Chains A and B, each alone.
Chain A
Amino acid sequence: MPLPEKIIVDQEAANTPLARKVIRKLPGVPVKTIARGEDSSSFSNQDKTLAIYLKHYRGRFLRPCPATRQYRCCGYQIIHIGENCPLNCSYCILQAYFQDRILKVWANQEDLWTELDRAFIQSKNRLFRTGTGEFTDSLALEYLTGYSADLVEFLGNYPNVCLELKSKIIDLSWIKKVRSPRHVLPAWSVNSPDIVQAEEKGASTLEERLAAARFCADQGFRVCLHFDPIIHYPGWEKGYSRTVEMILDYLRPTNIAYISLGSFRFMPGLKNMIIRNHPGSDYIYNEFITGLDGKTRLLVPLRLEQFRLIAGKLRSAGITRQLYFCMESDLVWKEVLGYTPSDLGGLARHLLNLSFQDRAELPGQACQIPQRNRFNPE
């Protein structure tokens, strides 16, 4: 993963602990301070060098995951800590959202804590399933910012909040700040080994992710896995079958809070970006149609055959209620799993139950677990 070659910092955020930490960890990297009222767009990265922007963020830190009427959403609450990602996954929507190489980090953490405290205290009888992996990778900048460590430490005071840390890399330094593993869900995106190798440049290998998940499970965490995006390519059957086998090599069903399945879907504008930026990524030429939400999606029979294979293998291994689809219609749910989110009391509620469920309540399944312990936190 490349290191930032430039630091941009809002003057108001320059003295925050987070900004000082990042600047200290990147000695020799030039720092440009933006005065209040100065147009930050003038610092846009014309030279395309990788920059980290420590920003005084003025928007909402806590927000619901954008849902659509036509497809079932998981009801997750985003804790917004920054935008953009240093990884270079060919399919990533962030390249369309943020057409630059500026990694934005909200440095005014005090404002974040205030907003979260207000929200979680005001509704202390409500359970919150939260996560940071929507507009950025939860852990990709952890080595610089320690954001997830700060967040888990802060959220340790709120038993009604469960935090999911979703990533494609391995950084478990945050573990030492966790008060109760029951309220933190380490999560990794998983894909077929072919896709990980060809399309997820800069990310950890599948083995590394699963070994890290194993380590977390050994520390008392339940983990989440996200098959997203599932890509239809020649040989996908073998590739995704292998991924399921590997998951079962590393994890017991009881170690898993939930697994999502999401077919590759994208804003139409992303297609040309993938063609231009990743010319070898020919999965983009598959049979995509415009879905009911205006996003481009794989044609439903092709999605169904992939979901049936992956879900079938996971269910055979005892991973049943933990399975869900990300942004799919009732039609797909019914065809693959035989039920719809309504039968589970609604997807958001179901996932909330799974997130907060005591581990003892999950059905146990025996499997062989490799002995690994490569991820001792500092």
Chain B
Amino acid sequence: MNNLPQLLYLAPEELTLSDPCLFWAEEPDPDYIQNIDELGQIEPVLVMTQGSEKILVAGYKRALALKLLDRKVLALEIPLADSCIKGMIYLVSNQGQVPDQAKIIHALRYFASIDHLSEEVWKQLELSPGSKIQRLWQSWLTLPGNWDKLLSKNNICLECSQILEQIAPGDLDLLYSFFADLSWSRGNSINLLTWLTEKAGMDRASLSAIIEKLKLEQVLNSGLSPNDKIKSILKSVFQARYPVLSQLKNDITQRLGSISRESGWRMEHKDEFESRDIQISTLITSQKDLEKALSQLEQIFRSGAFEDWPIK
């Protein structure tokens, strides 16, 4: 009978609320506290007894709300277990939650720290063993813990993990500053890291050397807006990674811009120079607009601007 779970009423002060297994511990918000206040505690928290301590292993938010309301905590005492079981109990007791990236990384770091990142843990987190997403998380776990904050803030995307894990620690520290205060979209962050690492591969140089050569830290520390910083950094890195393509793109943008300037026509080349195709378009809302557009097109034609168009 002694092994059966016991229901206890505990004063909040009697509870130890700091066990690392509470990896998703969250402060209760005012609505939650009000809810507990009005409805009371409808589900016990889980505790384990270790010596004279009652260690909370599930129900942090409830326990804290009750503490703030100065009420006793209804607790179910379960047998003492190791860190792995405590973590699994915590995970299972929070099964209803859809974990975001911040929660997933907290859980993974906990189990990795006790060397128990089992298949069961991955499944509980709804990350299929052997899947691409699992591989991305495994890569992320190779990064220093301070990067987790950037992922939680969505300043960087998980897909970057496989690039980041290949980067030397010194370079990684330098890169950290680029993501610390700037929020990069998925595409931009992958492009930045891909182009930088590939440029370093091309030049057989370190990432730090490339960053220094392109004076990217100056842009980062400039007074530009966050969006402009990102644009400027990406432009520099793209130009370094694709010098000929950048030049071609610049040339064609300028050239098409000068041809279509002062007209309502938009001109674009979309095939990365694999064809000579130019797409021209305009917007009309009336017969008069059409007449005007045709006249402008006639002018463009007469200018002979496309006579020497081919890319050499």
Residue positions of A touching B, CB distance < 8 A: 70, 275, 282, 284-287, 289-292, 297, 299-302, 304, 329, 331, 335
Contact = CB atoms under 8 A, between A and B. Distances in A.
Contact of A287 (B245, B311, B312): B245
Given A289-B245, A291-B274, 5 more contacts: A282-B202, A287-B245, A289-B273, A292-B271, A299-B273
Contact of A300 (B198, B199, B311): B311
Contacts of A284: 201
Contact of B273 (A70, A286, A301): A301
A287 B273 contact: no
B273 A292 contact: no
B242 interface: yes
A285 B240 CA distance: 12
Interface string B170-184: 000000000000000
Contacts of A331: 274-276, 310
Contacts of B312: 301, 304, 335
A290 B273 CA distance: 10
Contacts of A301: 244, 248, 273, 311-312
Contacts of B248: 299, 301
A90 to B, nearest CB: 14
Given A282-B202, A300-B311, A301-B311, A287 B242 contact: yes
Nearest to B312: A301
Contacts of B244: 287, 299, 301-302
A287 B272 CA distance: 11
A299 B272 contact: yes
Interface of B: 198-199, 201-202, 204, 242-245, 248, 271-276, 310-312
B274 A292 contact: yes
A292 B274 CA distance: 7
B272 A289 contact: yes
B133 to A, nearest CB: 17
B203 to A, nearest CB: 9
Contacts of A290: 272
Contacts of B201: 275, 282, 284-285
A285 B242 contact: no
Nearest to A290: B272
Nearest to B202: A285
Contacts of B245: 287, 289, 299
Contacts of B276: 331
Contact of B275 (A285, A302, A329): A329
Contacts of A329: 274-275
Instruction: Give the 10 A-B residue pairs with the shortest CB-CB distance, closest first.
Output: A289-B272, A285-B202, A285-B198, A285-B201, A300-B273, A287-B242, A292-B274, A287-B245, A282-B201, A291-B274
A69 to B, nearest CB: 12
A292 B269 CA distance: 13
Contacts of B242: 287, 299
9 contacts: A70-B274, A282-B201, A289-B273, A291-B272, A299-B248, A299-B272, A299-B273, A300-B274, A329-B275
A285 B274 contact: no
Contacts of A299: 242, 244-245, 248, 272-273
Contacts of A335: 310, 312
Contacts of A300: 273-274, 311
Most buried by A among B248, B273, B274: B274
Contacts of B243: 287
A282 B204 contact: yes
A289 B274 contact: yes
Contacts of B204: 282
A198 to B, nearest CB: 14
A284 to B, nearest CB: 8
Contacts of B202: 282, 285-286
Contacts of B311: 300-301
A72 to B, nearest CB: 13
Nearest to A292: B274
Contacts of A291: 272, 274
A289 B245 CA distance: 9
B271 to A, nearest CB: 6
A173 B242 CA distance: 47
A274 to B, nearest CB: 11
A59 to B, nearest CB: 29
A292 B275 contact: yes
A286 B241 CA distance: 8
Contacts of B310: 331, 335
A282 B202 CA distance: 6
Contacts of A302: 244
Nearest to B198: A285
